[in-house]
Amino acid sequence: MITTATADELLELLRTINRARPTRLGPDAGDMPVWTFTVLGLLAREGEQRLGQVAAHLDVDPSVASRQVATLEQLGYVTRRPDPADGRAQLLAITPEGLAAREGYLAMRARWVAEALQGWDDAEVAHLVARLKQLVEDLHCAIAAHQRPAGRATARSAS
Amino acid sequence: MITTATADELLELLRTINRARPTRLGPDAGDMPVWTFTVLGLLAREGEQRLGQVAAHLDVDPSVASRQVATLEQLGYVTRRPDPADGRAQLLAITPEGLAAREGYLAMRARWVAEALQGWDDAEVAHLVARLKQLVEDLHCAIAAHQRPAGRATARSAS
DNA sequence: CGTATAGTTGCTGGTAGCAACCAACTGGAG
DNA sequence: CTCCAGTTGGTTGCTACCAGCAACTATACG
C-alpha cells in the first residue's frame, strides 16, 4: 500500500522530470528538437521501418510521425523507398548523414551525462531505471484503464 | 561513469514518462487539467502565496501561473487579496471549495495509485523516488549549464 | 468492385514563453 | 515634502510547438 505522501512525491517527481527534459538541443547538436534523435535512434537500432512502425514504437499518432519524418527527410537524415511488399507503405532508413548526426549527438550526450552523473554508479543508475520503468508501466496501465472507458482510445489500437 | 546503454535507457525512460503522464483527469475529478491540483496542492501545503512564489515553485513563467490562477479563481478555488505589505502583489489562498476539490482528487488518486502499485512496497517506492529526484536534479543542472551559456533564450532567436 | 489499411494534410486544443504593458513601491534630488 | 526615475509584481497579446482527430488519397486484398 502506498501512502499519500509517497504518491505525492512520486507524481511531483514525474512533473519535475517533464519540466527538466529539454525539447531542443543547443547549437552543439545543430539546435534540433530532441525527437530528431529519438527517430534516428530507432531507425539506427532497428533498421528500416515503416512509418506506422515508427509511430507505434514512439507511441505517437501516425500524423506526428509523418511530419517528423518529413522534416528528417528534408534534412537528408532519412530516405524513404516504397515497400516492395506493399505499395502503400514506405520503408524509412537512416542515411549516412543521419548516422553522422546521431554520432555527434551521442558523443555530446555521453559527455554531458558523464559530467552530470559524475557521482553515480552505472549499475545503480541502471537498476534505478529498470525499477522505475516497471513502476511507470504500472502507472500507465492504471491510467489507461481509468481513462479509456470514459472516452477516447488511441487511434491505432483500432485493429 | 555511465555507459551509453544506460544513458539510453535513462533518457528513453524520461521520454516514456512524459508520454505516460496525463495532462487531464477523467470526469471522476471534474475533468480538470492536472495543473489545477498542482497549484491547489501548493497553496494547501504552503498557505497563502504570492503569484510570483507560485510561479517560482512550479518553475514556470509568471504569465503561465497568472493564467492558471485566473482560471482557478473563476472556479472559486482560490481567492486573491492585496498583499498588505505591497500593493502590487496579491496573496493567493485556497478556498474551502478548493480544499474540497483537492480532497476529492487526493481520494481518487489514492485509489488508483493503490490499485496501480499493488505489488509495490511503500518504502521501496519512496526510496526510488528519492534517488530519482537526486538524479534528475543532477541532470537538470547539467542541462541548464549546457544550454544557458549559449544564449539566454531557450529556443527562440533573440535577435 | 467494396472494404480495409498506410500515409498525408488541415484543423484544433492545450501549453509554454517572451515582449510589452500597467500599477505600485523605492530612493534620491530638489 | 514632493516629484521623478528606476525597479518589481502581475497581466495580456502574440507566437511557437506539440499532439491528436478527421478527412482524404492511394494502394492492397477478398
Digit-coded pLDDT (tens) for B10-51: 999 999 988 888 888 877 777 899 999 999 999 999 999 999
Which pLDDT value is given to residue A127?
Answer: 92
The secondary structure element, H or E, covering residue A34 is none
A45-60 exposure pattern, b = at least 16 Cβ within 10 A, e = fewer:
eeebbbbebbbbbbeb
pLDDT of A17 > 70? The answer is yes
Q: Which residue has the cell 504569465?
A: B63
From the CA of B144 to the C1' of D4: give the distance in Å: 40
User: A92-122: per-residue pLDDT in tens?
Assistant: 999 999 999 999 999 988 888 888 888 899 9
Hey, what's the cell of B130? 528519492
Question: CB count, 10 Å around CB of A17?
Answer: 22
Which pLDDT value is given to residue B147?
Answer: 59
Residues 90-119 of A with CB under 7 A from strand C: 90
Hey, what's the cell of A55? 509511430
First-last CA distance in chain A: 36
Task: State the Cα–Cα distance between residues A56 and A86, nearest whole angstrom.
Answer: 18
Hey, what's the cell of B127? 526510496
Task: State the Cα–Cα distance between residues A78 and A91, nearest whole angstrom.
Answer: 10
Helix locations, chain B, DSSP H: 4-20, 35-46, 51-58, 62-75, 96-116, 122-147
Q: How far is B49 from chain A (nearest CA, A)?
A: 19
C-alpha to C-alpha distances, B151 to B144, B157, B158, nearest whole angstrom: 11, 9, 8
Task: State the Cα–Cα distance between residues B77 and B89, nearest whole angstrom.
Answer: 19
| Average confidence (pLDDT) over A77-92 | 95
> Which residues get their CB within 7 angstroms of nucleic chain D?
A 23-24, 33, 35, 60-61, 63-64, 86-88, 152-155; B 50-53, 62-63, 65-67, 69-70, 80, 83, 86, 88-90, 155-156
**Range in A53-67, B51-65, B66-80, B128-142 the model is least confident about:** B128-142
Confidence of residue B115 (pLDDT cuts 50, 70, 90): confident
Strand partners, A79: A93
More confident residue, B158 or A118: A118
Q: Which residue has the cell 488511441?
A: A154
pTM: 0.86
Strand partners, A149: none
Q: Distance between alpha carbon A139 and the CA centroid of its chain, in Å?
A: 18
